[in-house]
Amino acid sequence: MTASEPSKHSAPTRKLRILVADDDRDTVVTLSTLLQQEGHDVLEVYRGDAVMSMVTRYQPDAVLLDIGMPGLTGFEIARQLHETLKDQCPLLIAVTAWKMDTARELGKLVGFNHYLIKPYSTDELLGLLAPLRVSGPEL
């Protein structure tokens, strides 16, 4: 760390509101437990067609979306969230087993900010959420 680089621990952090959407209950429970241990508030959703209404009610900072869910796919949800919320859209992270290059490209096109392939490192996931935790006037 140089004198111009801030310490990772110097900026105050805030609790995030995170929506976890996956039809695999074990995945949801594992992610929710991890995120709650990090101090975040978590809402769990198990069907794609329930995500939009929950985002509207819960107003999360981030949404962790599986791609292959019943009701609506993660791709459809990401597209709808961007069309509906525009600049107010939360951070969207695909958390999926879909590893084809075409799926990753489609993820970019519909508005996912990040695309994590299962199994992934929890440090990698927490690193993607870390910028949202920094408190400050810009938030």
Each residue's pLDDT tens digit, 17-37: 999 999 999 999 999 999 999
Hey, what are 119's tokens?
């199994």
Model pLDDT for residues 91-117, shown as the tens digit of each residue? 999 999 888 999 999 999 999 999 999
> CA nearest 129: which of 4, 26, 8, 18?
18
Spell out the residues 6+ positions from residue 34 whose beta carbon is closer than 8 angstroms to its own.
Answer: 122, 125
DSSP category for residue 80: H
Answer for the pair 41, 59: CB distance below 8 angstroms, yes or no.
no
Mean of per-residue pLDDT scores for the chain: 89
- Rg from Cα positions in the chain: 15
Q: Residue 5 pLDDT > 60, yes or no?
A: no
Domain ranges of the chain: 17-129
**What's the pLDDT at 134?**
85
Answer for the pair 128, 114: CB distance below 8 angstroms, yes or no.
yes
CATH topology of domain 17-129: Rossmann fold (3.40.50)
Q: Cα separation of 120 and 85, whole Å?
A: 28
Model pLDDT for residues 59-87, shown as the tens digit of each residue? 999 999 999 999 999 999 999 999 999 99
